[in-house]
Structure formats: structure tokens, C-alpha cells
Chain A
Amino acid sequence: MVDLIGVRKRYGRVVAVDGVSLSVREGEFFTLLGPSGCGKTTTLRLVAGFETPDQGEVRISGQGVNRLPPEGRPIGMVFQNYALFPNMTVFGNVAFPLRLRRLPERVVRRKVGELLEMVHLQGLEGRYPRELSGGQQQRVALARALAREPKVLLLDEPLSALDAKIREELRGELKRLQRETGLTALYVTHDQEEALALSDRIAVMRDGKVEQLGTPQEIYERPSTLFVARFVGIGTLVPGEAREGRFHRDRPWPVQVEGEGRGFILLRPEQLRPHPEGFLEGQVGLATYLGSLLRLEVETEGILLKVDLNPQEEVRAGDRLRLALPEAAPFIKEEA
């Protein structure tokens, strides 16, 4: 549905997008994930048409759109700061794209009604944006973006200006809406949890390049680089060596790995279990109660392991603990 083919964009000496190629499938929720300044927004703006690539091509539904301005592309966009028109009511904002298409007022009214119902804002038609909460404003913005009946919905950190509670609520609704409408969505965020929760596929970006592309499971369970392993989820990277399908560190560990040579295994906190005959023995340095779990930092063989336990477990800082390792773990080769 959206294809980027070797797209590059630079601002002066900064290469914001450095040869990105990816394809967003029809009906897919696709996320660009990465730290600040990695080029997510620029990539999105290239798809929207606010920027033109220096090299490469952007295609939407197979059609090259490099020369089309945003108003000519089949897109809808939601911005981080809502960007509602302050001179228009909720109704006016959502009706704006429809009126631009010169639809009869009767049709406009019906469609705005449907859209506002979709985002649960019936009854607020007459309000002005300044009379709405952040969450409500972003719902209006979403309805306005959908009103254009776009082929691709582009969203640039649409939830990051909202409170945690509202953010999660709207996140769920966004997902539901995208499922129901079958719309293709290209989503930008620096919040890895959000990306995992929402996406069908994720492209993790770094310095203008795609570092890894895959489903949330693939990204979380099999990060292909240290950068992805560090950026997505919580875990401990243990340095060592892969030899004959096993991980070695002073002695062989009972952990299967794929690959050969020096590198790291990634141990997720939920994979480590206390066990009387566990392979590792260590001392609890820090125990933090987080409500739904108890997070420990266990020091063992010169490594600091993060371990998640049931919150009911009675473990305190200073306790000694044996830990069982997972049978297999992702192995990431040391970067040259």
C-alpha cells in the first residue's frame, strides 16, 4: 500500500533519512519506532508529501507520488499537538475535508455524525477545540483525518501529549478503529511499549536507517542488533561466546544459541525463575515492588540480571537466590 524505495532526505549536513526501503501492506498497522532524532517524523512527512526525497521513491497504492503535494495524496494525518482549527467547532473541523470535496451539506452532516460516533464524541459538535480536553481534541483530529477517507492514515506520536491514563485508553480505541475500518496505518512513536501493543509490524529506526523490521514478537524475542535489544523491552545483555550451539562464559551455560563467535545473549526478566537447582547463584541487590510484579536486580558472576517475580514472592534485598535460565536465548554478535 505504501512503498518506500531507497528513500533519502538530508537537511544541510544532517542526513535525516538514509536510504529507507520498506513496504506497508494493505490494512496493516505499521510503526516506525526509534529514539529522538532517528528520522521517524521525516520518513512520515515524506509519505505525507510535506517533504520530497532527495533520492528514491515513495509509492502509494503502486502509484509514484514524489511529485504530488499532500493535498493530492490519498492520506489523512494526525499530529502530536492535535492541530485543530481554532476558528472552527468540532463539527467544522471534521466537516472541513468533506466540504473541500464540495459534498452536499446533507451528506456532510450525515458523515460528520458517523465519524463523531466512531470516536465517541456525539453531542460535542458545537464546542470549540479550546473547550475540549487533550484526549477529546485528539479524537476530533482522528475523525478529521478519517473524514478524508484516506488510503493511509499517518500518525506522528499522536498519544505522547496525553496523560498516561488517557493515552492507554485512546491507544486501545485507535487499534479497534483501525481494525474495524481495515485502514492502513503508518504510526510513529518513540515509545516501544506503544509500538508493541499497537503494531502488526514494526520498523526500528536508528540514524535514518531501518535497523530491524518485523512483527512485535520478532522484534522483542529476536532482536537482530544490540541497539534493538537495548531499545525494545527490558532485559540483560550478557557478554560471552557462542560455540557449538551453546553459550559460554568461563564455563558452558545450559542455554542454546544460534551463531558462532563473541557476542551477547539477551535474558528477559520474565524468563528467569528462582529454582533450588538453578544454574546461577546470586545476591539480590534491589527489589522493587511494581504492583503487578516484583522486579529484582540480582548480582551474579559479575553481571547484574533483571528478574521479574510474582509480587507475592517474599524476596528482599540481600537475599541469596538461585536462578534457572531459559533453554534458549537470542544471541547477538558483537558489532564490528
Chain B
Amino acid sequence: MRGLGWSFFTLFLLYLLLPMLAPVVYSFSRLWLDLLPEGFTLEWYARVLRDPKYLEAASLSLRIALLAVAINILAGVPTAYALYLWSDRMGEGLRRLLQVLPLLVPPLVVGLGFLLAFNRPPLALSGTFWIVVLGHAALGFPFFFRTVYAGLAGIEVRLLMEAAQASGAGLWQRLRHVLLPNLLPAVISGSLVAFAISMGEFEVTSMVAGFGTITLPLLLFQSLREDFRAASAVASVLLYTTLLALVGLSLARRR
């Protein structure tokens, strides 16, 4: 029985991992005709690095991701804190909604929503850099919020803040010396997740972004037709970003 379970588990793992690993293998190989690829090469990566188109897209994606993370930190930490403090029935419901709703709504609907919401003055942001940033921030929010909220619950914030207050600390001192340092690991974890989501986001981006905002995943999609090799290298780079975020995540958890 156990053996059977393990076999299924292994098969499932392969089923999940193989498609993910395929571009990586492909990106390093000269030829892949039969079952196994042949000839190790860095040529495809070099081609990507030499092409300013890819570099621009990468830098754009990076800027968008960092801004999306910044927005999440600025909006998400106070929101999580406020909701944690009045976590009565209403706060609890609101929290569930914030955590679950964005996950259930199909990305196409989110994209359409953004298009409609930011279509007219004074918020005529359609097709701009900023609508992509806002969209990515919103997509990362539930994950960011969940992580920070769990962090708050884990450190008994209310008690610690009261202990600081009874020690003579004013609001600013409590936030600076007690809340922020203790919440930092959770904020870092949440930021890494939001960052990874933004770097790889395709669906909503493809709907709201204009011709001037070609992020790395968008470019990847375009070049699939022209240059499959370079595309696999770009896809691999995106995968590495996610893996790096994962490593960072487990480091932040361990602290």
C-alpha cells in the first residue's frame, strides 16, 4: 500500500517537474531531437544577453516587480495590522474576503476590471506602465497579506505592543522597535512571493499593458514564434527567479 502511494507520488512529481525542467534542459543544449538532448552550450543565453530587447524587458519587469512589492508593503502591512487589531467578526470576514476573493476571480476578469476601472480621467492609466504596476500589486496582495497576517498572529503583537507601552514607549517607538523588527521576516517572505508573482505574470499583463510596456513574460510569448531557443533561455531565467525567491523564503522562515 505504501509502495503504491510512493509510486504515485513520484509519478505525480515527475509530471509536475518535467514540463518545468524541459525549457531549462532545452536552454542549455545544442540539439534535442531524440529522447535525450545533445551538446552543452550557453549560446542561447548569450544571444538573449546581447539583445537589448530582452535586457529592456528584464529591467522593465524588475522595476514593475519592485514597485508592486513596495505598494504591497505600504498598503498591506498597515491593512494587516489594522485588521489584526480589530479581528472581531467583521474584521474576520473582511480578512477572509481579502485573502480568498482575488484567488477565485479569473485573471481575465481581473484584467478586464482593471481596463474598465482605469479607462477614464482622472485615472486614465490604460496601457501605461502604472496600470501594470497596480495590477501586479493587486495580484500579489492576497499572498502578501496572508503571510504578514500570519506573522502578526505568530508574534502576539497585541501583547508585545502593550508590554512596550508599559515600558514607556510611545506609538512611533513601539512601531519602530517592536512591531517592525518582529514582523520583518514575514514582510520579507510576503515580498518575495509578491515579487515572484509579478516577475512571471502574463495573463493580466497581456490585457492591460500597452505596446510600450513589454515585460519579460510578454516578450517571451512573442519570441516563441521567432526564436524558440532564446525563449527557452528566457523561460529558464524566470524559473531561476522563482527558485531564488523560494530560497530567500526558506531563509526568511528560518530566522
Nearest residue in B to A145 (C-beta to C-beta)? B166
Instruction: Give the number of chain A interface residues (Cβ < 8 Å).
Output: 25
Question: For the complex, what is the distance from the CA of A84 to the CA of B163, rounded to whole Å?
Answer: 8
* Chain B interface main SS type: helix
- Verify A77–B182 contact, CB threshold 8 A: no
A-chain residues with CB within 8 Å of residue B177 when the two chains form the complex: 85, 96
Question: For the complex, what is the distance from the CA of A177 to the CA of B169, rounded to whole Å?
Answer: 25
CB within 8 Å for A83 and B162 given contacts A71-B170, A96-B177, A144-B167: yes
Contact of B182 among A71, A86, A97 (CB under 8 A): A86
Contact with B along A61-94 (1 / 0, CB 8 A): 0000000011100011101010111110000000
Tell me the minimal C-beta distance from B11 to chain A in angstroms.
41
Contact of A83 among B163, B181, B182 (CB under 8 A): B163
Q: Tell whether A50 is near chain B: CB-to-CB under 8 Å.
A: yes
Stretch at the interface among B29-37, B76-84, B152-160: B152-160
Size category of the binding interface on chain B: 10 to 19
B-chain residues with CB within 8 Å of residue A70 when the two chains form the complex: 162, 165-166
Question: For the complex, what is the distance from the CA of A141 to the CA of B162, rounded to whole Å?
Answer: 13
Tell me the minimal C-beta distance from B146 to chain A in angstroms.
21
Q: Tell whether A101 is near chain B: CB-to-CB under 8 Å.
A: yes
- Verify A100–B165 contact, CB threshold 8 A: no
- Verify A48–B166 contact, CB threshold 8 A: yes
- Verify B167–A148 contact, CB threshold 8 A: yes
Q: Tell whether B173 is near chain A: CB-to-CB under 8 Å.
A: yes
- Verify A85–B166 contact, CB threshold 8 A: no
Question: For the complex, what is the distance from the CA of A147 to the CA of B168, rounded to whole Å?
Answer: 10
Tell me the minimal C-beta distance from A201 to chain B in angstroms.
23
B-chain residues with CB within 8 Å of residue A69 when the two chains form the complex: 165
Question: For the complex, what is the distance from the CA of A54 to the CA of B37, rounded to whole Å?
Answer: 78
- Verify B166–A96 contact, CB threshold 8 A: no
Question: For the complex, what is the distance from the CA of A87 to the CA of B156, rounded to whole Å?
Answer: 13
- Verify B167–A79 contact, CB threshold 8 A: no
CB within 8 Å for A71 and B163 given contacts A85-B178, A86-B155, A96-B177: no
B-chain residues with CB within 8 Å of residue A71 when the two chains form the complex: 165-170
Q: Tell whether B164 is near chain A: CB-to-CB under 8 Å.
A: yes
CB within 8 Å for A76 and B166 given contacts A83-B159, A85-B160, A86-B155: yes
B-chain residues with CB within 8 Å of residue A76 when the two chains form the complex: 166-167
Tell me the minimal C-beta distance from B177 to chain A in angstroms.
7
- Verify B173–A79 contact, CB threshold 8 A: no
- Verify A100–B167 contact, CB threshold 8 A: yes
Contact with B along A137-159 (1 / 0, CB 8 A): 00001001101100000100000
20 new A-B pairs (CB below 8 Å) besides A81-B156, A148-B168?
A69-B165, A70-B165, A71-B165, A71-B166, A71-B169, A75-B166, A76-B166, A77-B163, A79-B159, A79-B162, A83-B156, A83-B159, A85-B164, A85-B178, A85-B182, A86-B155, A101-B168, A141-B163, A145-B167, A147-B167
Q: What are 11 residue pairs bridging A and B, where the CB atoms are less than 8 Å apart in the complex?
A: A76-B166, A77-B162, A79-B163, A83-B163, A85-B160, A85-B178, A86-B182, A96-B177, A97-B168, A100-B173, A145-B167
